[in-house]
Amino acid sequence: MGEFFDRRLDEYEDHQLNCIESAHEFYKYTAKCLPMECGCRIIDLGCGTGLELEEYFRLNPSAKVTGIDLAPGMLNRLREKFRDKDVNLILGSYFEVPFGIERFDAAVSVESLHHFTADEKRPLYEKLRKSLKPGGFFILTDYMILSDEEEAFYRKELLRLKAEEGIADNEFYHYDTPLTVDHEKECLLSAGFSSVEILNHWAETYTIKAIR
């Protein structure tokens, strides 16, 4: 997965901002949903080159951000952009990296988690919830769909492609397998978040807030 994105590093930001409907709006909107307190701590899952952080650091330059991503080139680009900010970057899978307990005021993820099933996400969300301080919350902005049939189709296609290329089911492979909005909400609630609400949406991109 990391190699996939690093091979596209030079065109990544242009693609994200100009090929995904309303991206210029939802990256800024996501940033405005995050805490504005001085020195607050944020964890960013699948941070990429930090498109959501550009607006966030403009609004809250004192924020302390931990970013996790599989692509070293993406992290290097983010580091170059925010040399004067308090940024801790971790190369690795957010499924495997420990988050700690009650360390963060909020978490965020933008256009990263739509590659995984509810069963894969649930333990991640449980780990994420535990990493949040009391009153903390998770802002998820991601590609979601409305029908169970679409969800099943994309998952079946992913398994078919992996089988054709001899890739084990537990290995990462870049193919979109979004959950329905309802299944995403159910997954967060089953992971122990106390409440989950839709804040906004643009076509098939939704912003959800899950409170610890």
CATH 1.10.287.3510 fits 2-146+175-211, yes or no: no
Q: Which amino acid is at 139?
A: I
Q: Which of 68, 140, 134 is nearest to 102 (CA)?
A: 134
Question: In which region does residue 145 sit, left (phi positive, over 0), alpha (psi from -120 to 50) or beta (all else)?
Answer: beta
Full-model pTM: 0.90
d(CA 67, CA 46): 7
Domain ranges of the chain: 2-146+175-211
d(CA 159, CA 92): 24
Residues shown for the chain: 212
d(CA 180, CA 152): 10
Ordered per-residue pLDDT tens for the chain, 212 residues: 545 555 666 777 887 888 788 999 999 999 999 999 999 999 999 999 999 999 999 999 999 999 999 999 999 999 999 999 999 999 999 999 999 999 999 999 999 999 898 999 999 999 999 999 999 999 999 999 989 999 888 888 877 887 888 877 667 766 788 999 999 999 999 999 999 999 999 999 999 999 99
